[in-house]
């Protein structure tokens, strides 16, 4: 085996070892939290999932109980625009599985991410970290605000919220 072949194999093994699983990502984030020296505190804060991302959504009013009409509209949007890359379980497809997404991200972060995807992928640390692990850049989806809100409600239902 020559050197180039060995390098190629090493690179392949590296790629295979990278996983986009949200749980593993969360573990890594948690570890970073405890190990972070003071100058990295800001980054650790951001990764905790209590940041709201970048965009116009600053204060989303959630409804309790869930809004069934919104869920009914969110489902077909998921089917046609998102399910090619996302599962509703915690299993990764192209992007992270959606199970637990409403626990790891704020409603504002989710709404900003799905309506302002390019800006978030360029500047939001959490989104960028995901892009590194997934190795695919989520294309912008051209959703209206209403559609984004319906998808958020669909995700809340999927996470068993009420």
Nearest approach in angstroms of CB 41 to ligand HEC is 22
What's the token pair of residue 68? 């069934």
Does 101 interact with ligand HEC (rule: CB under 6 A)?
yes
- Contact pick of 18, 58, 94, 123 for ligand HEC (by CB under 6 A): 94
Residues in the chain: 162
139/153 Cα distance (integer angstroms):
21
- Contact pick of 92, 151, 156, 158 for ligand HEC (by CB under 6 A): 151
Q: Which range, of 11-19, 28-36, 39-47, 139-147, touches ligand HEC by CB under 6 A? A: 139-147
Q: Is 148 exposed, middle or buried (0-12, 13-18, 19+ CB in 10 A)?
A: buried
107/122 Cα distance (integer angstroms):
20
103/105 Cα distance (integer angstroms):
6
Q: Which range, of 39-47, 56-64, 65-73, 94-102, touches ligand HEC by CB under 6 A? A: 94-102
* Residue numbers at the binding site for ligand HEC (CB under 6 A): 22, 81-82, 84-86, 94-96, 101, 104-105, 110, 113-114, 121, 127, 130-131, 134, 136-139, 141, 143, 151
């Amino acid at each position: 085996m020559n050197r180039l072949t060995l390098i190629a194999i090493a690179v392949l093994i590296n790629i295979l070892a990278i996983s986009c699983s949200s749980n593993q990502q969360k573990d890594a984030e948690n570890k970073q939290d405890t190990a972070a020296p003071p100058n990295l505190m800001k980054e650790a804060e951001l990764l905790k999932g209590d940041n709201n991302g970048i965009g116009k959504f600053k204060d989303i009013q959630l409804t309790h109980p869930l809004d069934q009409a919104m869920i009914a509209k969110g489902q077909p949007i998921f089917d046609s625009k998102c399910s090619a890359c996302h599962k509703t379980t915690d299993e990764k497809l192209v992007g992270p599985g959606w199970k637990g997404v409403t626990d790891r991200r704020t409603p504002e972060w989710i709404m900003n991410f799905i309506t302002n995807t390019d800006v978030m992928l360029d500047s939001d640390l959490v989104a960028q970290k995901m892009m590194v692990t997934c190795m695919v850049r989520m294309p912008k989806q051209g959703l209206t605000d209403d559609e984004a809100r319906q998808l958020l409600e669909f995700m809340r239902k999927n996470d068993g919220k009420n």
